[in-house]
Structure 1
């Protein structure tokens, strides 16, 4: 008679690295910093009249020249552009 064979799984040793580590990694104790919210303000440094175009450009991350050009082009068309600019000049706080 032949001797019974041992199971093959018993012959494979467990890796040492897996036996020492927990099944899950611990989460970091310090939460990630929260960035400050963006605020729409009139620009003190980059202004021609009231700083509205400079503030809008800073808020949206574009060059203030492009915002000014867009405003001048929009004034050519009928509408309340100047009134909106004056209203924004009064409502938007200065930085």
Structure 2
């Protein structure tokens, strides 16, 4: 678990590879961000019904930054 309280869903400023979406989700739920990234990529590739890139782009637009 993280030392900061889980206040809401926001893109991470510290734990980001591209836009901080997966890092923010992992921080919010107290999960390991590396494992979540791997799982996200595997599910995106393995499932034709889950458009991973499109979902990521939508979350990037909708999720605020941590500082906002």
- Per the alignment, residue 90 of structure 1 pairs with 61
- TM-score, normalisation: structure 1: 0.59
Please tell me the root mean square deviation across aligned C-alpha atoms, in Å: 1.4
State how many pairs are aligned. 60
Runs of 5+ consecutive residues of structure 2 not aligned to the other structure: none
- Structure with the bigger RCO (C-alpha within 8 Å, sep 6+) is 2
Q: Which has the larger radius of gyration?
A: 1
Task: Report the counterpart of residue 47 of structure 1 in structure 2.
Answer: 16
Unmatched segments (≥5 aa) in structure 1: 1-35
> Are the structure 2 counterparts of residues 68 and 75 from structure 1 closer, same or farther at C-alpha, using a change threshold of 3 Å?
same
> Matches of residues 1-95 of structure 1 in structure 2 within 5 Å?
38-76=7-45, 77-78=47-48, 79-95=50-66
Q: For residues 25 and 8 of structure 2, what CA distance do their matches in structure 1 show? A: 10
Moved beyond 2 Å, runs of 4+ = none
**Structure 2 Cα separation of the partners of residues 57 and 37 of structure 1:** 11
> Could you tell which deviates more after superposition, 80-89 or 36-45?
36-45
